[in-house]
Chains A and B, each alone.
Chain A
Amino acid sequence: MEALKRSFGEIRKYPSAVIGVIMILVLIGLAIYTVATIPYSEAIRLWRGGEDIWYSTPRNAFPVWTNWFTDVKQPETIVMFSEDNPDVTKEYTTTSSGKTDIKMSYTFDYTADDFPQELSLFFKTEYVAKEPFASITWETPDGRTIRVGDLAVSRKQTYRISQDEALVRRLGGEKPEVGLFADPESPDPENPQVLKGTYKINVSVLLFEDTGDASAEYVVFGEVFGWAGTDHRRRDLMLPLMWGAPIALLFGLLASAGISVLTMIISAIGGWYGGVVDGIIQRITEVNLTLPFLSILIMIGTFYSRSIWTILGATIVLSIFGAAIKTYRAIFLQIRESTYIEAARAYGASDMRIIFRYLIPRIIPLLIPGLVLGVPAFVFLEASLAVLGLGDPVLPTWGKIINDAWVNAALYNGYYYWILEPAVLLMITGLAFAMLGYSLDRIFNPRLRGL
């Protein structure tokens, strides 16, 4: 035990081990923070959610920080709800004919160099029988007023300004998200410039009944969103990036620890009992080595279940009878003959006591570096299966992001952030454990220490 402690103390002398430990601690911190702030059920609900949850986020938007590196600043997403927003005025007036008119004005600054992705209004109204009627106008910084559209609004109504064909015609064939923001004095009419300044969109909802109310959420879908960007289903990538950490760590550590410990116990039992037990273990190992590991995992994923627990179980079962059994067995055969085992036998220790108290502790120095070094392989295994489309169907993982990006030709379409973000996190995780593992290998294996 003391020796083990001393060996761990050695870590401080290896800079790569220190960096590895720091990186692992940061990842564990991220994982704990994620699980604490976004509960599992909430994460699944958001990840599996469609347009009902992700209605106000842009599609395939780059992360906000990409604006720091470009000259052309892309617009951010603007979301304004008519209630409790200082930039929105809401007035109720009663017309001469006794109807209520609700006027909502949204004032916002638009300073980006490029046009937004889409414009939408999401109405919520209360009425009994007759649908209220909404008219929308647009005021530009240079004082022009443009009629956007008029429509009857039901209890929950989405008005996609960008898809209003009548408005397109009114704007002279220009897409609304371009035409409404374009500078009429642009030098090249084919390639309009953004008119920067304070815009105003006025929504007036006319209620035909005595009671009732209306509210509307106005969204300018930008080309950048959040710190991570969004995917093809408008989902904020921050969620799977954060949730990928606990899943990757859990999968990697459980698989690696499970395999290392079970392999060690099996080879200790084989080495101790010898004879038939050892023979059976050796034969199983040889058969197992002829099985194509990845192919069988793909078959299990395709035919049975893509659940991460099934895959984890299959990975462990297929790996415990691996090549490591032969290495461990050779060492156990050597230890078996040592005098202290003879002493243990002399005082009447049971087989199990000898295996767990005398044989296994001797091999722990070999086990620990192997365990740490095994983690990246399994983290990447999970990602590999996800890239093949065999990721867990429910969980948000880094591999699933890469798979989504790959299927949607992210690299071809230039959405580099979509693949780079999970890839960098995977790389960090892999490097962290590998750096620590190699240093531990050198610490625990004196034969390598000087090298």
Chain B
Amino acid sequence: MSVEARPFQPQAEDQEQVETKRGSTSTFSRVAKYTLVRVIMLFFTVATGVFLTIMIANMGGYVDNIMRGNIREGLAMQMQQDPAYKEMQPDERQQYMASLIELEEKRLGLDKPFVTRAFRYLTNALVLDLGRAVQMTSDTGSKEVRLIILERLPPTLLLMGTSNLVLFFGSLFAALALSRQYGSIWDKAIIALSPTSSAPSWFYGLFLILIFAAVLRVLPFGGMVGSPPASTRWGYFLDVGKHLILPASGLIISSLFLSIYNWRTFFLIYSTEDYVEMAKAKGLTDREIERRYILRPTLPNIITNFSLLIITLWTGAIITETVFQWPGLGRTYFTAIGLYDTPVIVGNTIIYAYLLAMTVFLLDFIYALVDPRVKIGDS
């Protein structure tokens, strides 16, 4: 599930094998054709993925029934509690309630058949018209899905950004250092510790909460700001930092050792190449060899990993955010599912899908830029 756990994204296979039958076409038309085909393919991929999510998020109309039930129950409760309705005749009241239910169903679009609505959801989502949430509201009271997502984005970016950047660069540099001292005690320790990454981040979160919040009482159990919030800007900043330590550490610990181990193995494979031996024989410094002969050929992989990391920033960590009560997108997603709030679920999904498609698309070009062996649209 975690992307950084597998840096060996097979790059050669990732590239679409678009047949170019005429070998003599110019570079421009080849690239243009490839770009066009690629964009159309990716668009259909995203559309299908989002449509499937819409179908699942509605369970083929099942959620509609739940929502209808909720409307009926909510209105019935409201009528029972309001003394103004007590005066009405029973059948009159029934009629009035039926009209209220109809109105509410119309407001939520439940009067139209599910398939029609699914396609409307899809087209709206594809043009990024995220619409209004059914139940959820942003802290400012808006029902706009766009605003809800924008409001929850900064906490997620803070949490995921901190942990993933530390993880990415930390493991990259640690791996480079380790690949230089192959077989040392540190190297062996990392190999021995790499199986610890089989546990997810919330699992380490539990232990961290146990140690630092429950036993030592030095860090908070969860949340993003203390109560009451600090009055000064600096105080607020420090407070958020304090709340950030545990969830970010959980995220880092859960993938750190495997990540270092994978990069280290990757670098070691490259450092046994003949041209590296040759460079050593020439008497180049370690730093020079690393930069020119190890990092340079592994650059496409490093870029792939980094770009996939950027995508994961978006999704947030559903369970870690839930366990730590972190008010980010992951927890919003989970809350939205619990409230059957399809627009919010779809809104989150479409953005993720678009980002993924865009990254995959751009990666092809970046590969071609950094690796002269790769030619765009070449079969």
Contact = CB atoms under 8 A, between A and B. Distances in A.
Interface string A427-444: 100110111011000000
A418 B333 CA distance: 28
Contact of B206 (A303, A380, A402, A430): A402
Interface range for A: 35 or more
B213 to A, nearest CB: 7
Contacts of A298: 318, 334, 337
A293 B63 CA distance: 20
Contacts of B191: 438
A411 B210 CA distance: 6
A329 B345 contact: no
Contact of A423 (B1, B206, B318): B206
B52 A384 contact: no
Interface string A260-302: 0000000000000000000000010011111111111011101
Contact of A295 (B192, B318, B323): B318
A431 B198 contact: yes
A402 B210 CA distance: 13
A412 B214 contact: yes
Nearest to A383: B203
A7 interface: no
B17 to A, nearest CB: 9
Contact of A294 (B1, B14, B46, B50): B1
Given A295-B345, A387-B323, A330 B56 contact: no
Contact of A416 (B199, B214, B323, B352): B214
Contacts of B13: 326-327, 329-330
A293 B1 contact: yes
Contact of B352 (A292, A387, A406, A419): A292
A296 B56 contact: yes
B214 A423 contact: no
A75 B218 CA distance: 31
A376 interface: yes
B195 A292 contact: no
A383 to B, nearest CB: 8
Contacts of A411: 206, 209-210, 213-214, 221
Contacts of B198: 373, 376-377, 380, 430-431, 433-434
Interface range for B: 35 or more
B363 interface: no
Contacts of A433: 198
A447 interface: yes
A289 B192 CA distance: 31
Contact of B49 (A291, A447, A451): A291
B10 interface: yes
B360 to A, nearest CB: 9
Contacts of B131: none
Contacts of A426: 199, 203
A69 interface: no
A383 B199 CA distance: 10
Interface string B282-326: 000000000000000000000000000000000100110011000
Nearest to B269: A447
B214 A414 contact: yes
Contacts of B94: none
Interface in B320-351: 322-323, 333-334, 337-338, 340, 345, 348-349
A17 to B, nearest CB: 11
A448 B268 CA distance: 9
Contacts of A434: 194-198
A387 B317 CA distance: 14
Contacts of B200: 380, 384
A303 to B, nearest CB: 5
Contacts of A406: 323
B9 A323 contact: yes
A423 B10 CA distance: 34
Contacts of B265: 448, 451
B165 interface: no
B53 interface: yes
Contacts of B33: none
Contacts of A295: 53, 318, 333, 337, 345, 348-349
Nearest to B339: A302
8 contacts: A295-B349, A300-B56, A302-B337, A302-B340, A373-B198, A380-B199, A402-B206, A435-B195
8 shortest interchain CB distances as A-B pairs:
A434-B195, A376-B198, A290-B49, A430-B198, A434-B198, A411-B214, A290-B353, A330-B13
Interface of A: 16, 283, 286-296, 298-300, 302-304, 323, 326-327, 329-330, 373, 376-377, 380-381, 383-384, 387-388, 402, 406, 411-412, 414, 416, 419-420, 423, 426-427, 430-431, 433-435, 437-438, 447-448, 451
Given A295-B349, A448-B265, 6 more contacts: A290-B45, A290-B49, A290-B356, A291-B52, A292-B348, A330-B12
